[in-house]
Amino acid sequence: MFWCYFVIAPSLFTVFQLSHGVEVTVSDSEGKLCIYANLMVNFSVSYEEVGNKSSTAEFELPSKVTTEGSDCNVTSSLLKLNFGGHTWSVNFTNNGDKYQADSITFSYDLSNKAVFPNAALNETLSVSFKPEITGVAKDTCYSCKSRDTFESDTVNQTLWDVLIQAFVSNNSKCESCKCSFSITSTQTSAPTPTTTPTPTTTPTPTLPTPAVGVYSIKPDVNGTACLLANFGLRIGLKQAEEMNFDPNGTTTSGKCGDNSSDLVLVSKTMTIMLTFTNDTKKFRLHALNITGKTSVVFSEANTNLSLWEAAVGASYMCNKEQNYTITSMLTLFTFNLRVQPFGVRKGVFSTAHECSLDDTSILIPIIVGAALAGLILIVVVAYVIGRRKTYVGYQTL
């Protein structure tokens, strides 16, 4: 079972490489586009044959489907795909900012003997599934490229390469609008990535450098800070777009301890919890838990990190952009980082231990300079010795 999450990203996604799926559009009573979908579905249906035998029929959603019976209004819409006497439908509800799919219903007609040879019954049977398509922001689409299988006693359906936009406003589908992305959890065998060759190079939108947040924890209202942290953060989710953490409007909380300090940052879209530990001489970032809320649905944590190490009483600084693999799903990017989780005096940062990148960038000119000075010294000494030798030589002559 794979879970598809989605992320609202600030620019267009490579949605249009979904070219081989079944593409449908639905218009409302005024003729305006209200649902756009492009998806693939495989069905596996077990049914009874004559002679008390059980059989399984496997088939795909054909490329030719009709959308009769589909309907849209402001608050709810229904996507209904009809093929060979069968129907596959999804109903959506809209609560203003977000919409969701409520259920997927598949009705199959056993009298279609091309699909169900020797079926004992001629009835039409129905199964419903509850999809995990919730909280999709208005005017964005839901997309999940990996396979998502729904199982019931008699029917298994596998969806993949799914792109659905319900409640299309302004008659324009999700072409240049914000779009949702899917990522796949890695907890089971990896889904076969869609091997469709990317028609054009994926435009990886370059995010602006995230704003640097200035955070501190004060043990009491009038006290001075016991923990200081300045950084710009970006997170990267596997198969999904990267996003910046917005310090504007972020609430800061946490606690300072002797051996462990916590910093909790809550923004509109993310909750980030950082745990620092003190092992008498050094501190380090030991645990990180990042949870995406609202438009971003994910929760990734690593409680066994050893990052941002420096002496207790000093601060750790890294101005360069750095990236850290936190989990198989999540990468953390930092910008202009400076933290001091222990031993803050007078509310200001102590001496900084700089990250190796910064160190080498400072060290290299020093080394080069020192090497040049040494070379000049050798040349001068050699010259002086050489002159003295010739001088001595003259005298003996």
Ligand X SMILES: *[C@@H]1O[C@H](CO)[C@@H](O)[C@H](O)[C@H]1NC(C)=O
Residue nearer to ligand X on the CB measure, 23 or 28: 28
Residue nearer to ligand X on the CB measure, 17 or 299: 299
323, 320, 273, 243: CA torsion to nearest 10: -60
Nearest to 172 by CA among 25, 309, 377, 319: 25
Interface pick for ligand X out of 55, 124, 134, 289 (rule CB under 6 A): 289
What CA–CA distance (Å, rounded) separates 251 from 387?
Answer: 73
Residue 345 DSSP one-character state: B
What CA–CA distance (Å, rounded) separates 15 from 181?
Answer: 9
Residue whose token pair is 């530990």: 277
Least distance CB 53 / ligand X (angstroms) = 9
Least distance CB 263 / ligand X (angstroms) = 14
Do 78 and 91 meet the contact criterion of CB atoms below 8 Å apart? Answer: yes
Q: Which of 61-69, 102-110, 181-189, 359-367 is the region at the interface with ligand X (rule: CB under 6 A)?
A: 102-110
Least distance CB 366 / ligand X (angstroms) = 22
Contacts with 242 (C-beta within 8 Å, 6 or more apart), sequence order? 207, 234, 235, 236, 333
Nearest to 39 by CA among 169, 152, 182: 182
- DSSP for 326-363 reads -SSSEEEEEEEEEEE-S--BTTB--SEEEPHHHHHHHH
Interface pick for ligand X out of 29, 68, 220, 392 (rule CB under 6 A): 220
Q: Output Rg (C-alpha) for the chain, integer angstroms.
A: 31
Interface pick for ligand X out of 63, 66, 95, 111 (rule CB under 6 A): 111
Residue 314 C-alpha from the chain's centroid: 33
Q: Which of 37-45, 178-186, 366-374, 385-393 is the region at the interface with ligand X (rule: CB under 6 A)?
A: 37-45
Least distance CB 78 / ligand X (angstroms) = 7
Torsion angles phi and psi, residue 390, rounded to 5: -60, -40
Interface pick for ligand X out of 11, 55, 76, 239 (rule CB under 6 A): 76
Kindly list the distances between the CA atom of residue 48 and the CA atoms of 52, 94, 209, 261, in Å, as whole numbers in the listed order. 7, 39, 61, 63
Interface pick for ligand X out of 125, 297, 305, 312 (rule CB under 6 A): 312
Least distance CB 369 / ligand X (angstroms) = 25
Q: Which of 13-21, 41-49, 193-201, 359-367 is the region at the interface with ligand X (rule: CB under 6 A)?
A: 41-49
Binding status of residue 114 toward ligand X by CB under 6 A: no
Residue nearer to ligand X on the CB measure, 346 or 393: 346
Binding status of residue 107 toward ligand X by CB under 6 A: no
Considering only residues 349 to 388 of the shown chain, the ones binding ligand X according to CB under 6 A are none
Residue nearer to ligand X on the CB measure, 62 or 386: 62
Binding status of residue 259 toward ligand X by CB under 6 A: yes
Considering only residues 144 to 203 of the shown chain, the ones binding ligand X according to CB under 6 A are 147, 151, 154-156, 158, 160, 170
What CA–CA distance (Å, rounded) separates 233 from 262?
Answer: 17
Residue whose token pair is 């929760």: 299
Q: How many CB atoms lie within 10 A of CB 264?
A: 17
Residues that bind ligand X (CB under 6 A): 42, 44-46, 52, 56, 58, 60, 73-76, 91, 93, 102-103, 105, 111, 121-122, 128, 147, 151, 154-156, 158, 160, 170, 220-222, 248-249, 258-259, 278, 280, 289, 291, 299, 301, 303, 312, 323, 331, 342-343
